[in-house]
Chain A
C-alpha cells in the first residue's frame, strides 16, 4: 500500500530571462501517510512553498518540473492533464493560503465560498455542503455556526477568518491539506486559537496535511514529521520529537538557536550607564491620539489614551501588544506623523511641536523612524547610495566624496558589502533591505530610533541577525530605541524596559525582568502564556490554563468606561472592572500595573 503522498526525487528549476535554468528544488524525497502532518520548514528561498504546491501538481509561472515524481496514492500528479488536475484539486488535495483576508472574496457570503469547491466538483448538493460547513464551523468552535454562513468576510475577526479558510479547504473532505504559513501573520493569542482549531480538526477529519512554515515552535505543536529544507535540499527529515529534541544537522541546530528564548524573568540587558544623562532622551506625556474627524480637538476614534512613556538615553523600550492596540500609532505620534490631540512629546526635555512639519530639522534629525516593511519603505526607483546619501546631505550637509565615504561606512555598519551601493532595492533580499532601511535611519546620526515591527516580516535566522546588529549598534553608538513588536520573545531579548499596551492604554510598564515576573497584569500573563514554546505538547497544556480559557478567541473592545481588558480577564471583578477605570499601582522602580486587583492577588 503506497503512502498517501510520495514526493520522489523532485527537481524543480526556474527559467531565467536568458533561458538558462536555475535549480530551486534539488531532488527532494519524502512521504505523507494518511492522517499525518508533515511540516516543511526553512527560510524564504528554501523552496518549501514550491515543494508544497507541487502536491497539487501546481507550479509557479517561470518554474519547471525537471525530474522526479509526486505521487498521490500511486498516481503521478505532475504528469496529469490540466483537466485531471482540476478534478483532483480542491477535492482530494486542498490548499490553504497564508492570508485569509486575501483568500476570501469580500463580495460573497462566507457560506457560499466555503461550500463552493465541494459543490463545483459535484461532490455534494448545495444543501449537503451547507450542512457539512455548519458542522465544520462547530468543530472549529466558531461563534454562531447556524448563521455564520450568511455573513460576509468583513463581519468576522481575522482569527475566525483564518479558521474559516480551514473550513473552506476541508468542506470537500480532501485527503490531503496543504497549509502555507497559515499562522505567520497572526498575533500570538490569535495564533494559538487558530493552531488549536487546525490541530483538532485535522485529527477529527483524519486528513493528512503538509504544513509549510518557518517557525519551529509552531511546527513542534502540530507536526508528526519534520522536513528541514535549505536551498532546495533536505537537511534533515525525522519525527517532530527527534528533530526538535535531538537535531542531527547543523542547520537544524542553527534554526533552533535562532528561536528566541521564551520570555521569562531575568531577561533584558543591563542598563548601560555610560550614556545616561539626567534628562530622558525621549518622553511622551499624557498622550491621547486617534484618527478621524476631530470635534473640539478630540478625534473620532481614540487609539491612544493617556499614554506616558519615557526612554532613557542609550536604552531600549519595547512596546508590545496585539494588533490594533495602538503600538504603531504611538510611534507615529512620537515622530509627528500623527499629531497628538492631547499631551506632549519631549525630546531631550524640550517639548516638540505635535506636527512634524513644524519641527526643526535638528529635532527631526535626532529622532528617526524605521518602517516595518523594508519592501515598501525603500523607493524602488532609487539606488541604495541615493537612499543612504539623502539623509547625509539633508541633515549633515555632506556632499561628494565625504558622502560616498559615509555611505560605505553605513553599509559596513549594517554588514552589507559596499557593492550594494550601486544596486536597486529590488535586487536585495528581505533581510538585506531591512538592513538598508536601518542604515538610512542611522545615516542621520539620530539619538532615538523608532523601530516599528522591523523584524516581524523576517525569517527567524535573518531576524536574529538583525537583532544582534541592533544590540551592537546600541553598544557602539548609545542610540536609544523604541522597539515596537507584537512578538514578546523578541522584545524580551532586546529591551531594557517594556510597555504593554492594550486597547490604547498602558496596562503594565517597567524593567523587562520586572514585567516578565510576577506580579503580572492579567493581559501580560496572557501574552507570555501565548508565546509558543519549542516543545511538543505545549499547545495542549497552554489551552488548559485559565488565562487562555478566558482570553483567547476574544476580540479587543474599545470601552469608554472601566477596564478595556474586562471581557478577556480571568480575574475580573463584576461590577468594578466594567465600571471604573483601574487604578495604576506603583510597585516600585517604575514598575506599574493598571488593575483593580491588589499586588498580592496578581502574584498568583
Chain B
C-alpha cells in the first residue's frame, strides 16, 4: 500500500506550467499584403483621383485633340478610341476619357458603397443584437420582418423602389443600406445569440449587470472580429449591387462616372475591341478581390470557427 503524507494545511507551491502562447497578432500573408496595397491604392484615388485625372469626368474630348495640329488629317470619330497619348486608356462611347472617368468614378462608387454599408451595419447590428438579447416577442417580430425582406430579391426590390420614387444618391444609399441591413441583422443576431449563452455572459448576469453593460462590454467585443470580417464582404456585395443598379440604368445618373454604369454604357464597344468597358470592370474586380484577400487573412486569424459561423 501507499503511504501518503498528510498534506492538510501545507500549501503546495504553485506548479509553474509552461507559459500559454502569447496573444497572436494578425499577420498578413503575401496575398493579404497585396490586397492591402490595392485597397490602399483605391482609397488614395478617392481623394486624389479628380486632381490627377487628365480631364473632368463629364468632358467629351475635342476631335482636334486627336490630330496633329496643322496637319490635314480628317477629324476622327472620338468614341471608342484606343489608348493613345491623348487618352491613355482610350475613350468611351461618346468620347470621354476612360482613365479620367475611372479615377472620378472611384469616389462615387466606393463612397456610396461605404456609406451604404455603414448604414446597413448600424441598422442591422442594432436590431440583430437587440433581437438576440431581447428574445421572445421582439426577436420573433424582428426576425419575421427580416425574413420577409430577405425573401424579396434585392435587385427587384431596388428596381421597384427606384421606379416609384426616382433615383438620387441619397435614395440609393438609404435603399442599399436597408436592403443589406437584413443580412447583417441575421449574422449579428446569430453571433449575439452565441455569445449570449456563454458562461461569461451568465457570470455577468449573476453579478447583476444591466442589459447595457452586457451588450457593450460582454457581447460587442466578442462579435466585433467576425462582424468586421463580414463588413469587408458586405462592402463588396454593396459595390456590386450599386454597380448592377447602375448597369441597369437605375443607379448613379449620367454624366456622373460610376464603375458599374461605365461598364454598361460601353458594352457596345466590345465588338470593336475597345477596352472602355474593361477598365471599370477591372477596377471593380481588383477592389473586391483585394478586400476578400484581407478578409481571408482576418478569418484565418480568428480560426475555423469564424468561417463556420459566417454561413
A45 adjacent to B17 (CB under 8 Å):
yes
B198 CB within 8 Å of chain A: yes
B208 adjacent to A376 (CB under 8 Å):
no
Of the listed stretches B18-26, B68-76, B182-190, B262-270, chain A binds B18-26
Of the listed stretches B5-13, B28-36, B159-167, B279-287, chain A binds B5-13
B147 CB within 8 Å of chain A: no
- A586 vs B86: C-alpha distance when bound (angstroms): 104
- Please indicate the chain B residues that have their CB under 8 angstroms from the CB of A534 in the complex: 2
A371 adjacent to B203 (CB under 8 Å):
yes
- Map CB proximity to A onto B186-223 as digits: 1 under 8 Å, 0 otherwise: 00000000000011101101111100000001100110
A378 adjacent to B20 (CB under 8 Å):
no
- Please indicate the chain B residues that have their CB under 8 angstroms from the CB of A359 in the complex: 208
B12 adjacent to A465 (CB under 8 Å):
yes
A379 CB within 8 Å of chain B: yes
B27 adjacent to A17 (CB under 8 Å):
yes
- A17 vs B21: C-alpha distance when bound (angstroms): 10
Distance in Å: Cβ of B209 to nearest Cβ of chain A: 7
A301 CB within 8 Å of chain B: no
Q: Count of chain B residues with Cβ under 8 Å from any Cβ of A?
A: 35
Specify which of B24, B25, B205 is in contact with A337 (CB 8 Å cutoff).
Answer: B205
Known: A382-B221, A468-B7. A440 touches B203 (CB 8 A): yes
- A424 vs B208: C-alpha distance when bound (angstroms): 23
Closest chain A residue to B14 by CB distance?
A415
Distance in Å: Cβ of B19 to nearest Cβ of chain A: 8
Specify which of A356, A373, A471 is in contact with B199 (CB 8 Å cutoff).
Answer: A373
- A517 vs B222: C-alpha distance when bound (angstroms): 49
- A390 vs B11: C-alpha distance when bound (angstroms): 29
B4 CB within 8 Å of chain A: yes
B15 CB within 8 Å of chain A: yes
- Please indicate the chain A residues that have their CB under 8 angstroms from the CB of B222 in the complex: 379-381
A464 adjacent to B12 (CB under 8 Å):
yes
A394 CB within 8 Å of chain B: yes
- A364 vs B207: C-alpha distance when bound (angstroms): 6
A426 CB within 8 Å of chain B: yes
A432 adjacent to B17 (CB under 8 Å):
yes
- A289 vs B199: C-alpha distance when bound (angstroms): 21
- Map CB proximity to B onto A368-406 as digits: 1 under 8 Å, 0 otherwise: 110111001111111000000011001100000000000
Specify which of A17, A256, A369, A426 is in contact with B203 (CB 8 Å cutoff).
Answer: A369
A462 CB within 8 Å of chain B: yes
Distance in Å: Cβ of B29 to nearest Cβ of chain A: 12
A472 CB within 8 Å of chain B: yes
- Please indicate the chain A residues that have their CB under 8 angstroms from the CB of B14 in the complex: 415-416, 465
Known: A231-B18, A257-B5, A472-B11. A377 touches B205 (CB 8 A): no
B15 adjacent to A465 (CB under 8 Å):
yes
- A440 vs B203: C-alpha distance when bound (angstroms): 10
- A17 vs B29: C-alpha distance when bound (angstroms): 12
- Please indicate the chain A residues that have their CB under 8 angstroms from the CB of B202 in the complex: 337, 371, 377
Specify which of A269, A364, A380, A429 is in contact with B206 (CB 8 Å cutoff).
Answer: A364
Known: A337-B202, A440-B203. A257 touches B7 (CB 8 A): yes
- A424 vs B21: C-alpha distance when bound (angstroms): 11
A111 CB within 8 Å of chain B: no
A376 adjacent to B199 (CB under 8 Å):
yes
Specify which of B11, B15, B19, B208 is in contact with A364 (CB 8 Å cutoff).
Answer: B208
Specify which of A382, A390, A429 is in contact with B207 (CB 8 Å cutoff).
Answer: A390
- Please indicate the chain A residues that have their CB under 8 angstroms from the CB of B7 in the complex: 257, 468
- Please indicate the chain A residues that have their CB under 8 angstroms from the CB of B10 in the complex: 468
Known: A373-B199, A534-B2. A468 touches B11 (CB 8 A): yes
Closest chain B residue to A372 by CB distance?
B199
B8 adjacent to A471 (CB under 8 Å):
yes
Closest chain B residue to A462 by CB distance?
B15
Known: A391-B207, A394-B207, A465-B12. A379 touches B218 (CB 8 A): yes
A261 CB within 8 Å of chain B: yes
- A188 vs B209: C-alpha distance when bound (angstroms): 37
B20 adjacent to A428 (CB under 8 Å):
yes
Distance in Å: Cβ of B243 to nearest Cβ of chain A: 36
B200 adjacent to A377 (CB under 8 Å):
yes
A431 CB within 8 Å of chain B: yes
- A359 vs B206: C-alpha distance when bound (angstroms): 10
A361 CB within 8 Å of chain B: yes
A377 adjacent to B8 (CB under 8 Å):
no
- Please indicate the chain A residues that have their CB under 8 angstroms from the CB of B23 in the complex: 424, 426-427
- A465 vs B27: C-alpha distance when bound (angstroms): 37
- A416 vs B16: C-alpha distance when bound (angstroms): 10
- A368 vs B205: C-alpha distance when bound (angstroms): 11
A442 CB within 8 Å of chain B: no
Closest chain B residue to A369 by CB distance?
B206
- A534 vs B21: C-alpha distance when bound (angstroms): 34
B15 adjacent to A431 (CB under 8 Å):
yes
- Please indicate the chain B residues that have their CB under 8 angstroms from the CB of A337 in the complex: 202, 205-206
- Please indicate the chain B residues that have their CB under 8 angstroms from the CB of A373 in the complex: 199
Closest chain B residue to A386 by CB distance?
B217
Specify which of A380, A395, A431 is in contact with B17 (CB 8 Å cutoff).
Answer: A431
Specify which of B17, B203, B209 is in contact with A429 (CB 8 Å cutoff).
Answer: B17
A21 CB within 8 Å of chain B: no
- A226 vs B20: C-alpha distance when bound (angstroms): 27
Distance in Å: Cβ of A553 to nearest Cβ of chain B: 30
Known: A257-B7, A261-B4, A356-B208. A378 touches B17 (CB 8 A): no
Interface residues in B210-239 by Cβ distance below 8 A to A read: 217-218, 221-222, 224
A429 adjacent to B208 (CB under 8 Å):
no
- A371 vs B206: C-alpha distance when bound (angstroms): 11
- A337 vs B208: C-alpha distance when bound (angstroms): 10
- A428 vs B22: C-alpha distance when bound (angstroms): 9
Q: Which residues of B contact A (CB under 8 A)?
A: 2, 4-5, 7-8, 10-12, 14-15, 17-25, 27, 198-200, 202-203, 205-209, 217-218, 221-222, 224
- CB<8 Å pairs between A and B, sample of 27: A17-B27, A43-B17, A45-B17, A256-B4, A269-B8, A337-B202, A356-B206, A361-B208, A369-B203, A369-B206, A372-B199, A377-B202, A377-B203, A379-B221, A379-B222, A381-B221, A394-B207, A394-B209, A415-B11, A426-B20, A429-B17, A431-B17, A444-B207, A464-B12, A468-B11, A469-B11, A471-B8
